[in-house]
C-alpha cells in the first residue's frame, strides 16, 4: 500500500512539474486522482502489482522526458548561439577565451592605459 501511495505522489509531482504548472490547469492531476479513486476498491494482488508496474513505468517515462527537455534546452545547438557553445567547450578543458575587440570601446592590450603609454614612450625614446 505504501508503494502505491509513493507512486501516486511521484506521478502527481511529475504531472505538476510538466503539465499543471505549464498549462495553469489541474486537468491532468484531477484525471489522475479520478483514476486512483476508481481503482481503490481493487484487492487482487496480481492486479495491484500490474497497475503499480504500469504507474512506475509512467513515472520513469515522465521523469526521463522532463530531464531530456531540460538537457535539450541547456545544450541544444539550435538554442545556443555559436559564441556560447565555443565558450562552454573551452571551459570544459580549462581554457578561457580572450576578450573580443570592441571597436566602439577599445581597451589597451596589456594592463592599464598608463602602462601602455609608458611602453609607447619607452619604445620611441630608445630609438
Going by pLDDT thresholds of 50, 70 and 90, the confidence category of residue 72 is: confident
- Which of 25-34, 57-66, 87-96 is the least confident region? 87-96
List the chain domain ranges.
2-75
pLDDT (0 to 100) of residue 79? 58
Contacts of 26 (CB under 8 A, 6+ apart): 20
Give burial (CB, 10 Å; 0-12/13-18/19+) of 10: middle
Q: How far apart are CA 34 and CA 26, in angstroms?
A: 12
List, for residues 77-119, the tens digit of each pLDDT value.
665 677 777 788 888 887 877 777 777 877 666 566 777 777 7
pLDDT (0 to 100) of residue 92? 84
Average pLDDT score, the chain: 83
Q: How far apart are CA 64 and CA 104, in angstroms?
A: 46
- Which of 7-11, 47-51, 105-109 is the least confident region? 105-109
Q: Where are the alpha helices (DSSP H) in 1-127?
A: 2-15, 21-23, 27-38, 45-75, 82-92, 113-125
Amino acid at each position: 500500500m505504501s508503494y502505491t501511495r509513493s507512486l501516486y505522489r511521484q506521478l502527481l509531482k511529475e504531472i505538476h512539474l510538466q503539465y499543471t504548472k505549464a498549462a495553469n490547469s489541474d486537468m491532468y492531476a484531477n484525471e489522475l486522482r479520478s483514476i486512483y479513486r476508481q481503482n481503490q476498491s481493487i484487492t487482487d494482488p496480481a492486479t495491484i502489482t500490474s497497475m503499480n508496474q504500469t504507474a512506475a513505468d509512467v513515472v520513469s517515462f515522465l521523469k526521463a522526458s522532463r530531464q531530456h527537455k531540460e538537457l535539450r534546452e541547456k545544450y541544444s545547438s539550435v538554442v545556443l548561439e555559436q559564441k556560447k557553445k565555443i565558450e562552454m567547450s573551452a571551459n570544459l578543458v580549462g581554457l578561457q577565451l580572450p576578450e573580443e575587440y570592441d571597436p566602439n570601446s577599445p581597451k589597451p592590450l596589456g594592463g592599464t592605459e598608463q602602462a601602455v603609454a609608458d611602453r609607447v614612450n619607452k619604445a620611441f625614446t630608445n630609438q
